[in-house]
Structure 1
Amino acid sequence: MPGSSLWLLPPPAHPLHAALTALITSTLPARFPRESASSPSVSPHFFPPHVTLTSEVEPSRYSADPQAWLDRMVGRWLAGDGDSHVVKVRFGEIATQDVFFRRCFIRVGFERVRAWLGWPGMGGLWRCGWGAMFGEETERWLEWWRREYGPHVSLIYGDVPIADEVLHEVTRVVREAGIRLPKAGSDGIEEGNSWNGWDGGVVWLVPTDKPIAEWKPIATREL
């Protein structure tokens, strides 16, 4: 994956942080070893639970001081009027796509995170790295992004297709871990339960052009 990515992680003290981490690094690889491996000879890929806010961020944007850059970007966004800048992750159904990084994932309600998606990489959202640009171009891109990609929390990376019966079993295992999932087709907007999502979180700046095992944050910012 070229460049760097901005991830949103649940707050460290939130119960979902530990629950999702256990699912990704232990429970799901043990229960579904074939689907969790990129090939029979490769161990499962472990990664922290997160929603990708944007990817392909050029290192030249932050190379002088990654932490100062991230602090400025998040600070300016949080200074916006109203509550549009308040990110709320709410879970939808579990799904699969024929894409390595989206082999199995939990959908996330789009409207609760849309204001944060794509920044600061998309020209329609950010021009020269500053200022939200919510015009028609941005709205068209967001709608395409929602249909083709959509916000999500990945559970499994891999090359092995996941059959419907396996997906149903994954859903059962995730529910057994305490994760609150809405009925199929929901956009994940339910409120009032700490196990169906989280508010705020921690933004990580991660150089994702490195091997997965080396994906570590070079800057973080709490929301």
Structure 2
Amino acid sequence: MSMTFSGQVALVTGAAAGIGRATALAFAAEGLKVAVADFDAAGGEATVEQIRAGGGEATFIRCDVTKEAEVKALMERVIAAYGRLDYAFNNAGIEIEKGKLTEGSEAEFDAIMGVNVKGVWLCMKHQIPLLLAQGGGAIVNTASVAGLGAAPKMSIYAASKHAVIGLTKSAAIEYAKKKIRVNAVCPAVIDTDMFRRAYQADPKKAEFAAAMHPVGRVGKVEEIAAAVLYLCCDGASFTTGQALAVDGGSTAI
């Protein structure tokens, strides 16, 4: 399987930490130039520093993906910096809901949908013309196993990830003949800062999270990054419109 990316350019949103940072580092390790985008400037700059320390090339661009003007400016800055865009990993997302459907607030709904759905839509809206102009490319969006089924006490979050999968599949069909592939990754529980805040303060919760997966542990950010790189590489040239579960077997139960 070909994993050759030499001389190409990748954009990663939500790259200040966690899955986004791991994927930006993985792209850089494969020789790509990486545009690191995030609302968190300190975290984004730290990701760039790690890439450069490893001999890679990267640029940080601050962006609020819920604002179209900022997303448009992000794409313009990627082109100004590198002259092209080959791959985009639309990973920026939030998870702030902790109660049953009737306990949610309008503010929570707007915040989750704004970043997780509107942000992905806006990014694809402004990425696709760049990919069309150069004859193709690949986009990967971060969904979730919550987008493949139910997520009690996380109904808004689940709805947002179902929507990401809908956007992914629709865009994939619209641009399939234009050599633009669009897929999504659907992680289960992954060992990120968010996970540690939510679970590791309570060992019983951490044990429960591990037990949710037939493999007996939570996932690693590097495992999601590997899936993203696969979906972008030439070896996945016949793969589009898919929601790839990277979940330790949890959706197979």
TM range, normalised to the smaller chain?
under 0.3
The structure with more strand, counted as a fraction of residues: 1
Determine which structure has greater relative contact order: mean sequence separation of CA pairs < 8 Å that are 6+ residues apart, divided by chain length: 1
Please report the TM-score for the alignment, with normalisation by the length of structure 1: 0.25
Which structure carries more helix by proportion? 2
TM-score using structure 2 length: 0.23
